Amino acid sequence: MQDDGRSEEEKLEERLRTHRLKSDREFFAALSPQQQHLLSVKADPPEEERRRRKKREPEPKIKIYTCNHKYALPGTPIVRPKGGRFQDRDAENAYKGMYHCWKFFYELFKRDSLDNHGLVLKNSIHYGKRYGNAMWDGKQMIYGDGDGVTFKTFTADLDIIGHEITHGLIQFTANFAYEFQPGALNEAFSDIFGVLIKQRVLNENVKEADWLIGSSTMLGRKYALRSLKAPGTAYIGHPVWGDDPQPATMDGYMKLKFSDEDDWGGVHWNSGIPNYAFYVAAYDMGGYAWKKAGRIWYAALMEDLRYDSTFEEAKKFTILHARKIFGKGSLEEKAVIHGWRTAKI
Ligand code: ASN
Ligand code: ZN
């Protein structure tokens, strides 16, 4: 396989951050909401807060920082000119992306930010040197610029921004462990809301949408990071990554170890299975996926799913919510059952 041209140091920095991510997330996930607040960006000063309150409708609170290609977080704050836009394209992408994510959860579900209490959405761009990842680290968003060979900037896809912010939402809600089946659910719900946020902005129905994650960020016209419509086909014969290993059905479940190299039990691979169940269910329902299937999956995430939930439980609770929202024997209930059955759960 071809090398992506980065130095050993750059690759090690990348591995270090990815490794830390798991323990950082675990640390934050174990805190109470009050403790999490102590460590998040402080709310606006009273004057500004009062002004906002008067308007009654909450607004997203978005902060952008630049790491200037260093690894210290959060970096230097940069401010969006009033009535204008950021000159830095990544700053603008991150800002707009956050805005769309916030609006998605507020307009559809009346949820004001990740904690439903207007948590400030903090974003650091230009993280590290040619850093090939983006993430929610437990308290903020981080975006690398990519190596320019396999990846370009990680702010290029709204579905990636939506994926990462959904990790934040999950931390405040179902709080899935980041390993094995709950880890794969963590990944799948992040992919699912990632694509839904994008589909809603583009006003695409289930047939029009491409159901891909990272099609702009991963360089090469034929390549994306993951496909919810056809897991295992997002990239084939990629010069660095080879073939997409994601299974779409439970008989292909990858039994992997609890280690960094094994992706903590294959959380980014086995997510193909619940991703596919969602896609099939949404496709059966037709129309806009965020209106019905998205609503069902959101309700299960908010009300029933937990730290150690399995695929079986995700199935059980999404069926339950389909029935609760749309009625017993409804087309929507049948679609959810069909989705999980197609994924062989
Ligand atoms: N971008 C990755 C994700 O959000 C970061 C990671 O978990 N390794 O899943
Ligand atoms: Zn993820």
Q: What is the pLDDT of residues 171-216, one digit of tens each?
A: 999 999 999 999 999 999 999 999 999 999 999 999 999 999 999 9
Q: Is 164 an active-site residue? A: yes
| Ligand 1 binding pocket, CB closer than 6 Å | 18, 21, 133-135, 164, 167, 187
- Protein residue with its CA nearest to atom 2 in ligand 1: 135
From the alpha carbon of 178, which atom of ligand 1 is closest?
7
With respect to residue 174, please indicate whether it lies within any of the assigned structural domains.
no
- Same-domain status, 205 and 321: yes
The answer for residues whose C-beta is within 8 angstroms of residue 223's C-beta and 6 or more apart is 215, 234, 235, 238
Q: What is the model's pLDDT at position 153?
A: 98
211 domain residue, yes or no = yes
**Does 140 share its domain with 253?**
no
Which tokens sit at 298? 């959101």
The answer to whether position 74 is within a domain reads yes
pTM above 0.85, yes or no: yes
Residue 81 has what DSSP assignment? P
Domain boundary residue, one of 156, 191, 206:
156
CA end-to-end span of the chain: 35
Q: Which of 156, 172, 204 is the last residue of a domain?
A: 156
User: Which pLDDT tens digit goes with each residue over 106-123?
Assistant: 999 999 999 999 999 999
**Band of pLDDT at residue 8, cut at 50, 70 and 90:** confident
Give the distance (Å) from ligand 2 centre to CA of residue 252.
Answer: 20
In ligand 1, the atom with minimum distance to the C-alpha of 263 is 8
Mean pLDDT of 114-143: 97
Report the pLDDT value the prediction gives residue 252, as an integer from 0 to 100: 98
Indicate whether 134 and 253 sit together in one domain. no
Ligand nearest to the CA of 134: 1
The catalytically annotated residue of 13, 164, 179, 332 is 164
What does the pLDDT read at residue 46?
A: 67
Residue 187 and residue 150 in one domain: no
Report the distance separating Cα 267 and Cα 252, nearest Å: 14
pLDDT of residue 178: 96
Q: Is the pLDDT of residue 273 over 90?
A: yes
CA of 156 to the centre of ligand 2 (A): 16
Q: Which atom of ligand 1 is nearest to the CA of 136?
A: 4
Percent of the chain past pLDDT 90, that is, above it, reads: 83
Output the pLDDT for position 75.
Answer: 98
pLDDT (0 to 100) of residue 53: 65
Task: State the CATH number of the domain containing residue 34.
Answer: 3.10.170.10
Can you tell me the distance from the alpha carbon of 187 to that of 283, in angstroms, rounded to the nearest whole number? 20
Ligand 2 centroid–CA 197 distance in Å is 15
pLDDT bracket for residue 300 (50, 70, 90): very high
Rg (CA), the chain: 19
What's residue 41's pLDDT? 64
Q: Do 282 and 293 contact (CB within 8 A), yes or no?
A: yes
Model pLDDT, residue 23: 84
Identify the active-site residue in 126, 238, 268, 321: 268
How far is Cα 221 from Cα 167, in angstroms, rounded to an integer?
27
CB–CB of 191/226 below 8 Å? yes
Same domain, 249 and 104: no
d(CA 185, CA 165): 15
CA 330 to centroid of ligand 2, rounded, Å: 32
Query: What tokens appear for 176 in the block?
Result: 């899935």
Name the packing angle between helices 89-109 and 158-171 (round to 10°): 50
Q: Confidence band (pLDDT; 50, 70, 90) for 33?
A: confident
Does some domain include residue 264? yes
Residue 172 lies in a domain: no
Residue to mutate (ligand 1; options 15, 21, 153, 159; most atoms within 8 A of CB): 21
Atom of ligand 1 nearest to the CA of 267: 9
pLDDT, mean over the chain: 94
pLDDT, residue 60, reads 97
Specify whether the CB–CB gap between 113 and 61 falls below 8 A.
yes
Query: Is the pLDDT assigned to residue 4 strictly greater than 90?
Result: no
Question: Does the pLDDT of residue 42 top 70, yes or no?
Answer: no
Minimum mean pLDDT range among 54-68, 98-112, 262-276, 317-331: 54-68
Q: What is the pLDDT of residue 275?
A: 99
Q: Whose CA is nearest to atom 8 of ligand 1?
A: 18
State residue 113's pLDDT score: 97
Residue 1 has pLDDT above 60, yes or no: no
Q: What is the pLDDT of residue 49?
A: 67
| 107 is known as an active-site residue | no
pLDDT at position 205, please? 98
Mean pLDDT of 159-170: 98
Centre of ligand 2 to C-alpha 268, Å, is: 7
Give the C-alpha separation, 59 to 141, whole Å.
Answer: 19
How many domains are there within the chain? 2
40 falls in which pLDDT band (50, 70, 90)?
confident
In this structure, the answer to whether residues 56 and 89 fall within a common structural domain is yes
pLDDT for 52 beyond 70: no
Q: Please give the angle made by the CA atoms of 138, 267 and 115, to the nearest 5 degrees.
A: 30
Mutate to test the pocket of ligand 1, among 28, 131, 135, 151 (most ligand atoms within 8 A of CB): 135
Handedness of CA 28, 32, 35, 41 (dihedral sign): positive
Instruction: Indicate if 207 and 280 belong to the same structural domain.
Output: yes
Same domain, 115 and 225: no
Give yes or no: residues 193 and 298 share one domain: yes
Q: Which atom of ligand 1 is nearest to the CA of 22?
A: 7
- Which range of residues forms the domain containing residue 207? 180-342
Beta strands 76-78 and 62-66, pairing class: antiparallel
